[in-house]
Structure 1
Amino acid sequence: MHSFMQDAPQLILQIYILARRPPQTHSENDYIITVLVQSISSLTSLMSLAWSLTSYQRTLRYAMPDKPQMSVGGSATTFLWHTFQVASRVLALALFASAHKREVFIALGGHWGLMVIWILLQRTNFCGTPDGKRNNCGEFFYNIVVGWVFTFVMINVKATATRVKYSIYYLLMAAENTTMIVLWFLLPESATHWYHLPALIGTFVCFILGLVFMFLYYRHYHPDGKMPNKNQSPKLF
């Protein structure tokens, strides 16, 4: 939650600043060094977000001794899955914000509200008491915070099958990311930037690679698919 309440918005801001950087006004070396440092900072923030998600999934399993633990391959695949998915999302948001400052808040607010409703309908019990009773007030605010996390990435907030939930979520994300990056790409002033076409391609490629690594994880590395029950074949989700 700390990562996505603080680090994710900062990452969008970092990419936004890079996108809004004016043409070279100082010496070429100073300009290149500044852009390089900002790019490295953005990449580091992205990797930090991806690792926080990977660590979260690993820690959940450590907290349940009866569950099989994630392997090194599973952790690596999960890390790449989240790296590319978050990269696609923040790139679309940052570039869209560079051209549509007010509209990006409308897009984020709409997605946030929709995710909060979705999480509320799942009837989570994260803030419940040891005897299983729900703390409705605490749970409501928890759902609001997790709804913001869902504006970037989906985490499983309830121990249920994720196939349908992931399908719905990533279809929505694909539609939103495509709309934002295409609206930015079609603006005449965007065509003047050297990254005009690479940013468009990169957004789609990162999203597809994220899905590929997600499928690889669930097909080959998901711990529940390695249960010693030989009569049960591994499931995708």
Structure 2
Amino acid sequence: MYYGVKIRMYGINGNEDNLRYYNAMVKDNVNLTLLIVIRSFLFSALLLILKMTLFFNQGSDSVTHWTILVWCYTVISLAWNMIGYQCAERSAQPDKHRITKFGQGIMLLWYSGTIGARILLIAIAASQWPLYTFLGCMLNWILWTAWIYNQKDGAHNFCRELTRSELTEPAHLDLWTFLFSAVLAEVYTFTLVNFKEGSTFLRYCFYYVLMTLQNGTVLILDIYFGSSTDEFSVTYLYIFRILSILLFITGIVAMLIYYMFVHAKVKCYAVTCCPV
């Protein structure tokens, strides 16, 4: 609000500081949308895993058709929050194009598929081996926390003071940066958040190869070592195993389509890319 008022004031007066305040506003908007992403995953994603775990353990009496629709809406909402962050990040970079509506639709398939598959598989594993699933998630969280904290020009510069003209890194352990890295690492359990400028190709390749290996390991362990005496649970486990595979494949294919044909930096004929 502060920067918005300043933009209006300097715009009316014709002051050249208008652009400086606009850049500050869009950068703060990126930080705000990132906080929205973190909040949604800290609450909605973990709650959805808990509800689905109870569903696999208790059977059909624990849910209704309306509940399943709410679950689907939750996954789509998580994906849409990620799209909002990506769009805000693009708007803060004047040298890059905006993400088109068609591109946002492809991204919705990408994030819905990969996030939905991840939540399903964690819930399936938690219904079979709750303790080992918890330990595995904790190990995953610790490793991502260390990785995020040690990223150059990454978490150290989140919400940095606008008076600092250059990106800096502390020479010693920064408690607040470490805590932010730990919170952001929870989101990395489900999806990759690009919180620093630069090429994302290698980061996405590394992350989704790792996610594929983890998801495949959970599926293999569940198929060969999972146990359930309830016929209903066995039937639904098979259905959701297949669903998780289809969702993940859909998400990966959508991601490849996005970066090959619809990416905002690609000059394509099917989509009109409008510069900021």
TM over 0.5: yes
Structure 1 residue runs without a partner (length 5+): 25-30, 228-237
SS at structure 1 position matched to 2:265: helix
Equivalent of 1:11 in 19, 33, 48: 48
- Superposition pairs of residues 138-217 of structure 1, within 5 angstroms: 138-186=176-224, 187-189=226-228, 192=231, 193-217=234-258
Aligned pair 1:109/2:138, yes or no?
yes
Equivalent of 1:98 in 120, 127, 141: 127
Equivalent of 2:264 in 223, 227, 236: 223
> Aligned partners of 1:23 and 1:75: how far apart in 2?
35
Which has the larger Rg?
2
> Aligned partners of 1:78 and 1:170: how far apart in 2?
15
> Aligned partners of 1:183 and 1:8: how far apart in 2?
23
Q: Could you report, residue by residue, the CA deviation over 1:27-61 in whole angstroms, capped at 9, with x for unpaired residues?
A: xxxx8xx4212211111111111111111111112
Distance apart, 1:194 and its partner CA: 1.5
TM-score by length of 2: 0.73
| C-alpha distance 220-129 of structure 1, shift in aligned 2 (>3 A) | same
Per mean C-alpha deviation after superposition, the further-off stretch among 120-129 and 82-91 is 120-129
Alignment-mate amino acid for residue 154 of structure 1? L
CA contact (8 A) 1:190 1:196 kept: no
Alignment-mate amino acid for residue 201 of structure 1? I
Alignment-mate amino acid for residue 52 of structure 2? I
> Aligned partners of 2:99 and 2:54: how far apart in 1?
37
Distance apart, 1:191 and its partner CA: 7.8
Aligned-pair Cα RMSD in Å: 2.0
CA contact (8 A) 2:50 2:123 kept: yes
Q: Could you report, residue by residue, the CA deviation over 1:88-112 in whole angstroms, capped at 9, with x for unpaired residues?
A: 1000000100111111111111111
> Aligned partners of 2:130 and 2:141: how far apart in 1?
17
Per mean C-alpha deviation after superposition, the further-off stretch among 70-79 and 159-168 is 159-168
Distance apart, 1:134 and its partner CA: 4.5
> Aligned partners of 1:139 and 1:188: how far apart in 2?
42
Structure 2 residue runs without a partner (length 5+): 1-37, 269-276
Distance apart, 1:22 and its partner CA: 3.7
**Aligned residue-pair number:** 219
TM-score by length of 1: 0.85
Identical pairs, percent: 28
CA contact (8 A) 1:85 1:210 kept: yes
> Which residue of the partner structure matches residue 158 of structure 2?
126
SS at structure 1 position matched to 2:146: helix
> Aligned partners of 1:21 and 1:60: how far apart in 2?
42
CA contact (8 A) 2:106 2:255 kept: yes
> Aligned partners of 1:219 and 1:38: how far apart in 2?
36
Distance apart, 1:116 and its partner CA: 1.3
Q: Could you report, residue by residue, the CA deviation over 1:61-87 in whole angstroms, capped at 9, with x for unpaired residues?
A: 223344311101111011110000001
CA contact (8 A) 1:115 1:147 kept: yes
